[in-house]
Structure 1
């Protein structure tokens, strides 16, 4: 899967929320200052070429929908982050965030609880 640009990710975030939408509906969810209609339309067509967005024709317009599931993209992006910045080590990443975010004891305990639950589910 190709990595998406920041602008592409922003459009995908809107499509994941909307599930199916016209360009105008995507544009309505964009923060101020809103990009031009043509900019959003162009990015959506690029996403189609990348194979992560599809469309169906509705009258004279197109209704766009994500082909890529948010969970799939999240998983792939996180793997790339861990590989690129933490030598492929989840524990190095967790340690980095624990230090940088100055996690409280309660937050560390919650993280450990999530990890233990995930290990139990895998068994």
Structure 2
């Protein structure tokens, strides 16, 4: 999987929320000042070429929808972050996160409890 540019990621977030849409639908989801219709259409075509978006023709209109789920992309991004910045060590990443966010011991214990509960209900895939 490839990494998305900031613009591509913005459009993917919109499509993940919309589930599907034409260019006009995507443009309307942006805050003012909105990007040009042609800019959004171009980025959607790039996303289609990268395999992140699929397109269905309805008359003269293209209906775009995500080919990659938000979870799949998040998993890829997180894996890249872990590998590229923390040598694949989750404890190093967690330590960095705790230090940067000035977490106290109570917050760290809460994070551990939530993680344990999540792993119990959704065991890791082997």
Does the alignment reach a TM-score above 0.5? yes
Q: Supply the distance in 2 between the matched residues of 1:51 and 1:58 (Cα, whole angstroms).
A: 20
Which residue is equivalent to 1:16? Answer: 16
Q: CA deviation digits over 1:72-121, x for unaligned, max 9?
A: 00001000011111111111111101000112334212210122123434
Q: Supply the distance in 2 between the matched residues of 1:22 and 1:105 (Cα, whole angstroms).
A: 48
Which residue is equivalent to 2:98? Answer: 98
Q: CA deviation digits over 1:28-64, x for unaligned, max 9?
A: 1112321111111000000000111011111211110
Most deviating of 21-30 and 107-116:
107-116
Which residue is equivalent to 2:33? Answer: 33
Q: Which runs of 5+ in 1 are unaligned?
A: none
> Matched residue of 2:56: which SS?
strand
Which residue is equivalent to 2:67? Answer: 67
Q: Which runs of 5+ in 2 are unaligned?
A: none
Shift, 1:3, TM fit: 1.0
TM-score between both structures, scaled by the size of structure 2: 0.91
Which residue is equivalent to 1:79? Answer: 79
Most deviating of 40-49 and 95-104:
95-104
> Matched residue of 1:62: which SS?
strand
TM-score between both structures, scaled by the size of structure 1: 0.93
Q: Which runs of 4+ in 1 moved over 4 A?
A: none
For these two proteins, the number of residue pairs brought into alignment is 123
